[in-house]
Amino acid sequence: MIDQNNVEFEQETGNSASSLKFDSAFKRAIKLLNKRDFSITNMKEALARLEFDDQCISDVIEHLLHLHYLDDERISLNLFKKYITKGKGPNYIKSEFLKRGLTFSRDLYQKFLADQDTTPADHMNAILERASRKYLHQCDSLYDFERKVLSYLFRQGLIQDTNEIGLYKSTVRQLWTSKHIQGSN
């Protein structure tokens, strides 16, 4: 025979135990968020490493979203701002998004540039200018300059494929000629 009072007590302790787990997980999530921003995916992974169960993690994530403590869009915009001002290309930015568990889309990239009153072509030209300033005085010949600038563009994620190198070569040559002429005056 089942004692009704005992069942109610077990249900209450079960609820209080899950409430304690939730509180503990929520406090840990807040401590993590005090150090830096987390994407939803990264927060789930961090709480899972702390050995909280899946139900508790999903409850905490839902509560953090409700409180607007987790916001993937805000993180995305901050990453765009950080890497575009550093002169990084879309492929580099995409790899940083993937590291943080965020989804990268060219539409979001172009939307961010449009909000900054910049086109993707302007962004690319700014990176080319930065590369030319960086390598102009280090190179003695057009060949060295071209090789270094194109390697830089590849590392920055602007050149995705070797077929795109031809698109940049003429611009790099023009930069070399204009900078070389300006430098000789």
Write the pLDDT tens digit of every residue in 52-91.
Answer: 999 999 999 999 999 999 998 889 888 988 988 887 878 8
Terminal alpha carbon distance of the chain: 102
Q: Count Cα neighbours of 104 within 13 Å in the Cβ-side half-sphere.
A: 17
Instruction: Specify the higher pLDDT residue, 96 or 175.
Output: 96
- Tell whether the model's pLDDT for residue 17 goes beyond 80: no
Rounded CA-CA distance 62/8 in Å is 28
What pLDDT is stored for residue 49 in this prediction?
Answer: 94
DSSP assignment of 129-146, as one string?
A: HHHHHHHGGG-SSHHHHH
Higher pLDDT, residue 137 or 69: 69
**Exposure of 88 by Cβ count < 10 A (0-12 exposed, 13-18 middle, 19+ buried)?**
buried
pLDDT band at residue 3 using 50, 70 and 90 as cut-offs:
very low
21 or 16, greater pLDDT: 21
Map out the domains of the chain as residue ranges: 4-66, 72-115, 120-184
Q: How many CB atoms lie within 10 A of CB 134?
A: 13
